[in-house]
């Protein structure tokens, strides 16, 4: 069985997930908690650590054009997300900044290639950012998610006010965070990106807020199941 | 216990008679039902006295049964200031009365009532401080007398939190007006939230008889509540009290242990009105309560409030309460009506049932010890005056209903004014801010038809306003002719020789307010502060209007001219725990954090980060730190520097940008080289330092100090926005983990790891920078020497930080590699004479003072702070940061911030100091006047306990001044 220690890339929540009884699944260069705990049932509210999955950022005034040139589906519409053909998601944070979330199957080849091919000399005025390292990635799955967020975030995330693919760059539990709603076929899903160095603290806030709704940590498979046949958000 | 309970479906709406409970009050066992509050259960069992008054320790009992008064304050376990008339009974609850000496029945402090003539209004402003020094004798007994209840320092911690709520329209108050308004708002398409403080919706319909009788009122309530619950878009929260309304419709609401922060586009206040007391001699005995309170006892809790009642009233509500009492089998001995000619349906109904009605009559006295035994009624002969002849009527309860005061507190929090309206003898809201409406009795409407019409219109308009961005006219206030019949304009009848209470919280009498005015405090704000009227827990709900009336009467001004005191939040008591909520204290951990924990490192706070202080048990900290220092000097050590700030500066103007941001010169810095950076603000004050590593012609990787990186990033983006340079600034602190591998064996260690980097001295000299991989991990390596040894600062993506730590520790184990913490690093860098920004500098330090002239690009035209620094350098410095040493092993070691003393005056201060394990002596840095700062000069430091320590100025660095070791 794959474990995080067999890889150089490790989630900041490794020890917490191990303590919660995580079963790890192998990705290309890391292990991701696929199941957490003994119960196979998805709770009313699930919080999954997707930090080991690939993601990459680009910033700079030429970013949107540079992304389009690379076949990324994106428009210069700040605070809107765009679904990608490979199941990934692209978050437009500003006219000159995007974050690309890889698909849930962990295939990072596309993002690796984008990073590998990028050169300063190309003068595209777009600059890569290691978002897999700077930001932990959580998925919050379930209808109670907006109510849970209302305990730690001042933005109105109710489903009729915060539509699918909307983004909030805001403060969550006194930390900067990016929240994007990308519903699955079956359930509302909110993806949250927050400072990787504070991932443990952030996770404790999420699980604490989720407790009254029967929420708990879950594995990647719960998120994948929510997205049913699709490969991602 | 059933003797005082009423049976039947009309009584006990909140209680479950199938669930009996027991609890204790004052150590005595009492029975209750689930749903009872402490006061209802006590009253049901004949315990009319709940507390002792604040100043004179008079017996007090139920007054409002709504949590609006201080009579019901009790202590429950470790929680003081519990309102017994709102606090639910649970099995085994232990309730204690407060504010007495001896027993509640025989309170020895009650003697203070006989001393009242020595305690005139404002006495505490005039006494206890003369003669000088006398306060210490008064303080202890006064502290013992002051306060209600006991604050338990060891109180159990409980979980409190906060949550946000959102709505287009927020309706506060679930009475008839609130329900109608909320339904109308939701029907208008607005996402509506209705909040009510009681467990059930209905407001006055829960307990009051109503214009058309109890049966009709019940049916109306049921229909309205059912409709509200089935109206789409209407969310209902009961048991939730809005305690403050702030700008932009920000409402604070308390529900249990949670504080809700509610944001709405429009707020409708259907907050009702507060009962106002009759001010008359001995108007405070247990058994004297508002008519509404008696009705609440009966309807909500099934408690028979007494057996024989006198009702004093000036409106239909008093009569309706009397009819309710009759229905409940309580004898109504008399109704005293303040009006000279009582009229109306309720009056006729009471007459029909044979109740004696005294017109133009009021309470003029009462008798009874622990509870009311008789009420004295007298004819009103003039404004505020009664005839001397009394009719004494035996009774165990007296109900008051002589007027109301609209609950405009929340409206005033939001910016409205409460303006007195003589026509209804009540206040109205004026100058309501946009997005706030008032309806129902809070808006001066008292008849069903007027309330329904106004509330529906208000709800519909609020919905339209919320949905159309507030572009709808505010609803006009309706007129309600019946409103003029509710409040008596002056229900104040002082009596000589007896205490007539205006403010029951503070035991203030009419004469106290009169004397306040006589003392010259005739402005209502000063009246409040001098007399303390309205200062108590009820915050003037029952005292303010009477106080204003007395002041108006005494000064001859109108009530409108007197104005009101300021309504301030919170409307109801909020606990600090509500305001604090769940603590959110973000903590940042490096990727290697758990490795430090595994090595038993005590962690220390550095900004939001935790950093290892040293490795080992606290009992051996000194030895551990010294061993870490030795390892670095003799073999190798590794410190986690992930907390260092990191910034990627990329773009065609990167070099020019760095050159303007930092004091030194960078445009000609070769690619692959690192250079020290010093940042100053526009006044020339040092704010940060670090290293600029040129990774590419157009790419700098800049490090910043742990605590200042956010400030640096902010400054860079701010200046970049102004300068409009072709450069991108990114804060990559969290993206990179890092270690500093330092010591004579560090090269040997790093060369053991598979890498595409040539680590030879020639290929990778001091201050060089390289990128590549070690052990498969992508790295940026800076050859810098903060600790003064051959060293490599290795930065890698933070997701691989733990792996980086592991591979280096493994490689270094045979060569004596030890991890070292912040404490050892502080000593190492001090031996090398390197300053720490923020420790060796302060908020005014400029480079000349800190000996950093060498880091200034003197030929540069511009950098942030240059103009100020040039001026300061031309002017000369008033202090210099210099190195010093202290001879002798046994000499006391001063501490940071100890003062340099010359001729008894402060001449400077120590910024860094440590006993150097390497040098075997104490070395440090200190600010000294320029004339003392020359090498060889001696000065004195005042250490702990005032010991004067001799120190000598010496050149820094103290260790390896020729830099041979770091350039190995």
Chain A partners of B802 at a C-beta cutoff of 8 Å? 10
In a domain, B357, yes or no: no
| Interchain contact A120–B (C-beta under 8 A) | yes
Rounded CA-CA distance B338/B488 in Å is: 8
The CATH number corresponding to A55-131 among 2.60.40, 3.30.70, 1.10.10, 3.30.460 equals 3.30.70
The predicted structure's pLDDT at residue B478: 65
For B167, phi then psi, to 5°, come to: -160, 155
Instruction: Tell me, yes or no, whether B168 and B225 share the same domain.
Output: yes
DSSP B768: B
Do A153 and B164 make contact, defined as CB atoms within 8 angstroms? yes
Q: Which stretches of chain A score pLDDT less than 50?
A: none
DSSP B818: E
The predicted structure's pLDDT at residue A228: 72
| B649-691 residue pLDDT tens | 999 999 999 999 999 999 999 999 999 999 999 999 999 999 9
The residue behind tokens 């005739």 is B522
The residue behind tokens 């073999």 is B635
CATH of the domain at B691: 3.30.1360.120
CATH of the domain at B565: 1.10.10
Per the rule left: phi > 0, alpha: psi between -120 and 50, beta: everything else, B915 is beta
In a domain, B803, yes or no: yes
| Helix B510-518 with B544-555: angle, nearest 10 deg | 50
| Interchain contact B118–A (C-beta under 8 A) | no
> What residue of B is the nearest CA neighbor of A130?
B735
Count Cβ atoms within 10 A of the Cβ of residue B718 and give its class: 0-12 exposed, 13-18 middle, 19 or more buried.
exposed
Rounded CA-CA distance B555/B95 in Å is: 45
Do A10 and B800 make contact, defined as CB atoms within 8 angstroms? yes
Instruction: Tell me, yes or no, whether B422 and B504 share the same domain.
Output: no
CATH of the domain at B889: 2.40.30.110
In a domain, B302, yes or no: no
Do A196 and B734 make contact, defined as CB atoms within 8 angstroms? yes
Q: Where are the domains of chain A?
A: 4-52+133-226, 55-131
Residue B225 CA from chain centroid, whole number: 35
Counts of helices then strands in chain A (DSSP H, E): 7, 13
| Averaged pLDDT score across all residues of chain B | 95
Count Cβ atoms within 10 A of the Cβ of residue B498 and give its class: 0-12 exposed, 13-18 middle, 19 or more buried.
middle
For B422, phi then psi, to 5°, come to: -60, -30
For B546, phi then psi, to 5°, come to: -65, -40
Report the pLDDT averaged over residues B81-90: 97
Domain that holds residue B507: 498-577
Select from A8, A15, A159 the residue whose CB has the most chain B CBs within 10 Å, as the one to mutate to test that interface.
Answer: A8
B2 pLDDT band, cuts 50/70/90, is very low
| Interchain contact A133–B (C-beta under 8 A) | yes
3 state SS of A225: helix
Length of chain B, please? 968
**Computed over its alpha carbons, how large is the radius of gyration of chain A?**
17
| Interchain contact B608–A (C-beta under 8 A) | yes
B473 pLDDT band, cuts 50/70/90, is low
| B243-275 residue pLDDT tens | 999 999 999 999 999 999 999 999 999 999 999
| Interchain contact A128–B (C-beta under 8 A) | no
B positions 164-183 inside 8 Å of A (CB): 164-166
The predicted structure's pLDDT at residue B471: 57
Sign of the four-CA dihedral A101, A105, A106, A108: negative
Q: Is the pLDDT of residue B129 over 90?
A: no
Rounded CA-CA distance B333/B311 in Å is: 8
Do B586 and A208 make contact, defined as CB atoms within 8 angstroms? no
Instruction: Tell me, yes or no, whether B544 and B675 share the same domain.
Output: no
CA–CA–CA angle B924, B927, B929 (5° rounding)? 135
For B290, phi then psi, to 5°, come to: -70, 150
Give the ipTM of the model, two decimals please: 0.97
Pairs from B369-373 (Cβ < 8 Å, separation ≥ 24): B369/B59, B370/B48, B370/B49, B370/B59, B370/B105, B370/B286, B371/B48, B371/B49, B371/B59, B371/B61, B371/B285, B371/B286, B371/B287, B371/B396, B372/B285, B372/B286, B372/B287, B372/B288, B372/B396, B372/B397, B372/B398
Chain A partners of B651 at a C-beta cutoff of 8 Å? 60, 125, 127
Q: Which helix (H) or strand (E) holds B819?
A: strand B817-819
The residue behind tokens 């991890």 is B819
In a domain, B962, yes or no: yes
Structure tokens at B85: 């008339």
Please report which residue ranges of B198-274 form alpha helices under DSSP H: 214-230
DSSP B660: H
The predicted structure's pLDDT at residue A191: 98
3 state SS of A111: helix
Rounded CA-CA distance A220/B66 in Å is: 51
Instruction: Tell me, yes or no, whether B504 and B553 share the same domain.
Output: yes
Residue pair B418/B427 in contact by the 8 Å Cβ criterion: yes
Residue pair B281/B366 in contact by the 8 Å Cβ criterion: yes
| B309-323 residue pLDDT tens | 999 999 999 999 999
Residue pair B313/B336 in contact by the 8 Å Cβ criterion: yes
The CATH number corresponding to A4-52+133-226 among 4.10.520.10, 3.40.718.10, 2.160.10.10, 3.30.1360.120 equals 3.30.1360.120
- Chosen domain end from B436, B457, B485: B485
| Helix B510-518 with B524-531: angle, nearest 10 deg | 120
Do B648 and A152 make contact, defined as CB atoms within 8 angstroms? no
Q: Is the pLDDT of residue B708 over 70?
A: yes
For B109, phi then psi, to 5°, come to: -70, -10
Q: Is the pLDDT of residue B121 over 90?
A: no
Sign of the four-CA dihedral A5, A11, A16, A19: negative
Do A129 and B803 make contact, defined as CB atoms within 8 angstroms? no
Select from A7, A111, A133 the residue whose CB has the most chain B CBs within 10 Å, as the one to mutate to test that interface.
Answer: A133
Select from B611, B799, B801, B803 the residue whose CB has the most chain A CBs within 10 Å, as the one to mutate to test that interface.
Answer: B799
Rounded CA-CA distance B777/B796 in Å is: 7
Rounded CA-CA distance B163/B262 in Å is: 8
Do A134 and B261 make contact, defined as CB atoms within 8 angstroms? no
Chain A partners of B609 at a C-beta cutoff of 8 Å? 197
Nearest CA of chain B to the CA of A136: how many Å? Answer: 10
3-state SS string for B32-43: EEECCEHHHHHH
The predicted structure's pLDDT at residue B546: 97
> What residue of A is the nearest CA neighbor of B737?
A133
In a domain, B335, yes or no: no
Instruction: Tell me, yes or no, whether B930 and B953 share the same domain.
Output: yes
Residue pair B163/B187 in contact by the 8 Å Cβ criterion: no
Number of neighbouring beta carbons within 10 Å of residue B465:
25
Report the pLDDT averaged over residues B755-761: 96
The predicted structure's pLDDT at residue B495: 84
Say what percent of chain B tops pLDDT 70: 99
Instruction: Tell me, yes or no, whether B454 and B520 share the same domain.
Output: no
Number of independent structural domains in chain B: 4
CB nearest to B166's CB, from A12, A152, A156: A156
The residue behind tokens 């999955």 is A53
Q: Given the DSSP bridges, would you call strands B28-34 and B16-25 parallel, antiparallel or unpaired? A: antiparallel
Nearest CA of chain B to the CA of A87: how many Å? Answer: 23
3 state SS of B799: helix
Q: Is the pLDDT of residue B474 over 80?
A: no
Residue pair B702/B666 in contact by the 8 Å Cβ criterion: no
Select from A13, A30, A134, A207 the residue whose CB has the most chain B CBs within 10 Å, as the one to mutate to test that interface.
Answer: A134
In a domain, B362, yes or no: no
Say what percent of chain B tops pLDDT 90: 90
| B793-802 residue pLDDT tens | 999 999 999 9
DSSP B481: G
């Amino acid at each position: 069985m794959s474990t995080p220690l067999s890889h150089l890339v490790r989630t900041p929540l490794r020890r917490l997930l191990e303590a919660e009884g995580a079963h790890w699944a192998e990705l290309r260069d890391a292990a991701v908690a696929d199941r957490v705990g003994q119960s196979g049932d998805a709770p009313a509210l699930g919080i999954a650590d997707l930090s080991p999955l690939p993601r990459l950022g680009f910033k700079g005034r030429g970013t949107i054009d540079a992304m389009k040139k690379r076949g990324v589906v994106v428009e210069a519409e700040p605070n809107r997300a765009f679904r990608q053909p490979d199941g990934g998601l692209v978050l437009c944070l500003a006219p000159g900044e995007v974050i690309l979330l890889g698909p849930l199957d962990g295939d990072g080849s596309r993002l690796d290639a984008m990073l590998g091919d990028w050169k300063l000399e190309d003068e595209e005025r777009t600059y890569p950012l290691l978002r897999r390292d700077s930001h932990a990635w959580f998925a919050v799955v379930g209808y109670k998610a907006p109510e849970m967020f209302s305990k730690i975030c001042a933005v109105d995330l109710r489903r009729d006010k915060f539509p699918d693919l909307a983004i909030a760059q805001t403060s969550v539990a006194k930390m900067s965070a990016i929240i994007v709603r990308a519903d699955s076929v079956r359930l509302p899903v909110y993806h949250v990106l927050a400072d990787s160095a504070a991932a443990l603290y952030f996770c404790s806030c999420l699980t604490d807020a989720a407790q009254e709704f029967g929420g708990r940590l879950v594995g990647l498979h719960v998120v994948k199941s929510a997205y049913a046949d699709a490969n991602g958000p | 216990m059933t003797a005082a309970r009423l049976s039947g479906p009309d009584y006990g709406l909140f209680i479950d008679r199938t669930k009996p409970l027991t609890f204790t009050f004052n150590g005595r066992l009492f029975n209750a039902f689930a749903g009872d509050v402490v006061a209802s259960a006590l009253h049901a069992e004949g315990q009319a006295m709940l507390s002792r008054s604040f100043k004179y320790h008079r017996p007090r009992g139920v007054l409002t049964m709504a949590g609006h008064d201080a009579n019901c304050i009790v202590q429950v376990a470790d929680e003081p200031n519990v309102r017994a008339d709102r606090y639910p009974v649970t099995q085994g609850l232990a309730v204690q009365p407060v504010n007495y000496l001896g027993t509640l029945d025989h309170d020895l402090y009650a003697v203070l009532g006989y001393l009242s003539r020595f305690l005139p209004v404002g006495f505490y402003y005039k006494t206890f401080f003369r003669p000088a020094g006398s306060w210490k004798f008064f303080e202890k007994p006064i502290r013992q007398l002051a306060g209600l209840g006991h604050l338990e320092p060891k109180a159990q911690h409980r979980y409190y939190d906060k949550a946000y709520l959102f709505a287009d329209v927020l309706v506060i108050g679930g009475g008839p007006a609130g329900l109608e308004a909320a339904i109308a708002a939701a029907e208008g398409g607005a996402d509506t939230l209705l909040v009510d403080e009681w467990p059930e919706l209905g407001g006055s319909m829960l307990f009051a008889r109503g214009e058309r009788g109890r049966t009709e009122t019940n049916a109306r309530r049921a229909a309205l509540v059912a409709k509200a619950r089935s109206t789409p878009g209407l969310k209902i929260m009961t048991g939730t009290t809005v305690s403050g309304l702030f700008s932009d419709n920000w409402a604070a609401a308390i529900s249990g242990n949670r504080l809700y922060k509610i944001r709405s586009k429009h707020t409708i206040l259907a907050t009702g009105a507060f009962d106002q007391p009759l001010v008359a001699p001995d108007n405070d005995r247990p058994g004297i309560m508002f008519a509404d309170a008696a009705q609440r006892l009966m309807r909500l809790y099934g408690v028979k409030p007494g057996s024989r009642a006198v009702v004093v009233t000036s409106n239909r509500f008093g009569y309706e309460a009397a009819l309710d009492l009759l229905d409940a089998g309580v004898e109504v001995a008399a109704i005293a009506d303040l009006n000279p000619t009582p009229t109306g349906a309720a009056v006729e109904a009471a007459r029909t049932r044979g109740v004696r009605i005294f017109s133009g009559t009021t309470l003029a006295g009462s008798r009874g010890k622990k509870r009311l035994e008789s009420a004295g009624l007298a004819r009103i002969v003039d404004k505020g005056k009664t005839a001397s002849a009394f009719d004494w009527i035996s009774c165990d309860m007296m109900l008051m209903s002589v007027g109301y005061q609209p609950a405009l507190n929340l409206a005033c929090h939001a910016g409205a004014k409460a303006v007195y309206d003589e026509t209804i003898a009540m206040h109205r809201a004026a100058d309501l801010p946009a997005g706030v409406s008032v309806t129902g009795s809070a808006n001066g409407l008292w008849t069903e038809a007027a309330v329904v019409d106004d509330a529906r219109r208000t709800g519909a308009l609020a919905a339209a306003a919320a949905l159309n961005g507030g572009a709808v006219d505010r609803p006009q206030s309706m007129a309600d002719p019946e409103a003029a019949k509710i409040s008596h304009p002056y229900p104040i009848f002082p009596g000589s020789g007896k205490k007539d209470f205006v403010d029951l919280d503070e035991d203030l009498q009419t004469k106290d307010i009169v004397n306040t005015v006589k003392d010259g405090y005739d402005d209502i704000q000063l009246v409040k502060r001098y007399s303390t009227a309205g200062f108590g827990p009820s915050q003037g709900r029952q005292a303010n209007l009477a106080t204003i009336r007395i002041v108006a009467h005494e000064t001859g001004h109108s009530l409108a001219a007197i104005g009101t005191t300021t309504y301030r939040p919170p409307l109801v008591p909020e606990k600090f725990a509500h305001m604090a909520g769940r603590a959110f204290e973000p903590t940042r951990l490096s990727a290697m954090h758990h490795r430090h924990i595994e090595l038993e490192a005590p962690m220390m706070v550095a900004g939001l980060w935790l950093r290892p202080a040293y490795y080992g048990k606290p009992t051996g900290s000194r030895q551990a730190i010294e061993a870490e220092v030795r390892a670095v000097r003799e073999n190798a050590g590794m410190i986690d520097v992930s907390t260092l700030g990191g910034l990627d500066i990329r773009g065609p103007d990167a070099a020019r940008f760095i050159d303007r941001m930092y004091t030194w010169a960078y445009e000609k810095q070769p690619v692959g080289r690192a250079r020290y950076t010093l940042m100053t603000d526009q006044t020339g004050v040092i704010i940060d330092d670090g290293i600029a590593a040129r990774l590419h012609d157009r790419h700098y990787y800049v490090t910043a100090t742990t605590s200042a990186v956010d400030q640096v990033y902010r400054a860079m983006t701010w200046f970049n926005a102004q300068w409009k340079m072709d450069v991108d600034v990114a804060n990559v602190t969290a993206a990179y983990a890092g270690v500093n591998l330092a010591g004579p064996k560090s090269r040997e260690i790093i060369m053991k790891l598979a890498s595409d980097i040539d680590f030879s001295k020639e290929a990778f000299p001091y201050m060089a920078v390289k990128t590549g991989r070690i052990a498969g991990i992508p790295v940026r390596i800076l050859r810098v020497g903060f600790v003064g040894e051959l060293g490599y600062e290795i930065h890698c993506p933070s997701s691989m930080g733990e792996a980086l730590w592991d591979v280096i520790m493994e490689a270094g184990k045979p060569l004596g590699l030890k991890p070292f913490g912040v404490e050892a690093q502080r000593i190492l860098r001090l031996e090398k004479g390197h300053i720490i920004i923020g420790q060796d500098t302060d908020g005014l330090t400029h480079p000349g003072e800190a000996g950093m002239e060498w880091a200034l690009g003197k030929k540069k035209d511009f950098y942030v702070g240059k103009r100020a620094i040039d001026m300061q350098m031309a002017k000369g410095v008033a202090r210099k940061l210099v190195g010093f040493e202290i001879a002798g092993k046994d000499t006391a070691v001063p501490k940071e911030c100890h003062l340099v003393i010359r001729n008894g005056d402060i001449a400077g201060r120590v910024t860094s100091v440590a006993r150097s394990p390497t040098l075997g002596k104490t070395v440090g840095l200190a600010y000294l006047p320029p004339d003392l700062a020359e090498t060889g000069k001696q000065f004195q430091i005042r250490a702990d306990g005032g010991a004067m320590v001799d120190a000598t100025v010496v050149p820094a660095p103290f260790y390896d001044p020729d830099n041979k070791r770091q350039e190995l």
